[in-house]
Amino acid sequence: MSDTLRHLAELVGFDTTSGGSNLALLAHVEALLDQHGVPHARQLDPTGTRGNLVARIGPAVEGGGVLAAHTDCVPVQGQPWTSDPFTVTARDERLIGRGVTDMKGFLASALAQLPAMVAAPLHRPILLLLTYDEELGTVGAPAAVELLLSTQPRPAAAIVGEPSLLQPVTAHKGVRAFTTIVEGVDGHSSQPQHASNALVAAARIATHIDALARRHREAAADPSFDPPYTTFNVATLHAGQAINIVPRRAELTWEYRPVPADDSDDLVAEVERYATEVVLEDLRATTGQGTVTFRADAAARALAPETDGPAEALVRRLTGSTTPASSVPFATDGGHLQAAGISTVVCGPGSIEQAHRPDEWIATAQLAACDAMLANLVGELSG
């Protein structure tokens, strides 16, 4: 347990707020891997400031287990912390610091088990998968999964160590976020026949999205979730300069969070069809000019329940849990692993109730239980 606490303090000390660099943390982990002779591969994002990491402990054979963790954390600005968020503080069997629950606690436990993993007679490998910018919409995960499958034998199961109080989570919604940009033609408000109003066009698209939301709300397709349907959010609309100018440009941001059955491109395609076939035609009616473009800002895949899923069965053997598997409304990197054909479960220490809050904390008992789970994994893959 002391090794886990030491690793947690070191990991929290790296400010890996989403959108910033995580390379110092990756270098720290790589140095630990090098000390134990563990092969690893790093993959940089297009900016060269963030990266994914894959490492393998054990033989290069199929059937191993993946331990997946994102390295980023959410910002602390504007939150009333009572201690330095990037220094772990112990209070009453709790450890306080940004990311202790979401999700550096799980990674610290994995690193603490590294010497035992290396020393064990593993018959199947343990694969470590670290990603960047999960909090921005699982940005690094698709490339990380490609790196995993291109450099390692195919694993049998993946454990995503997001906080679940070490109970199996077998389903979660996805997240799809977009910016829709409308370009029209500005003009004097007394002469609208010589202009193309981008704000009106964007508002019509927003209204169509709201109609989609109502349709899915009434369908209530998946009672395992709360709420039991795909949700939509029209978030921001920026347009206009003055009361007497027809708006030339409008930017609309929106998202939907699909239940697994709705997790495809069909919903955004429906919005795009309405925008191009109906709204754009009207936008161009007066001037013959206008465009509507869609930019995908985030795409987190949903996680669907697996019948007799190997990953769920694995964590039940490791933890002894008999609690029914649950569904959660937040997204993880796990959907991308499952989409690549790897059986996946979410199971990690701490509670999501403590994540993203000021004075984020994790119980020391949860870390001890995670240590035990990962020690059991070493035994499972050695047998």
Active-site residue set: 72, 134
Side-chain half-sphere of 109: how many Cα atoms within 13 Å? 32
| Backbone phi, psi, residue 231, to 5° | -105, 155
SS (H, E, C) 225-251: CCCCCCEEEEEEEEECCCCCEECCEEE
Q: Rounded to an integer, what distance in angstroms lies between the CA atom of residue 38 and that of residue 32? A: 9
Residue of 317, 193, 178 whose CA lies nearest to 246:
193
183 in Cβ contact with 290 (< 8 Å)? yes
- Number of C-beta neighbours around residue 239 at 10 A: 19
- Number of C-beta neighbours around residue 218 at 10 A: 8
At CB < 8 A and 24+ separation, what contacts does 212-216 make?
A: 212/256, 212/267, 212/270, 212/271, 213/256, 216/262
Q: Rounded to an integer, what distance in angstroms lies between the CA atom of residue 272 and that of residue 377? A: 46
User: Any residues with CB less than 8 A from the CB of 360 and at least 6 apart, and which?
Assistant: 85, 96, 97, 98, 99, 100, 101, 102, 354
Q: Rounded to an integer, what distance in angstroms lies between the CA atom of residue 163 and that of residue 346? A: 8
DSSP 3-16: HHHHHHHHHHTS--
> In which element (H, E) is residue 66 found?
strand 65-70
Residue of 228, 211, 208, 210 whose CA lies nearest to 219:
228
Q: Rounded to an integer, what distance in angstroms lies between the CA atom of residue 94 and that of residue 20? A: 27
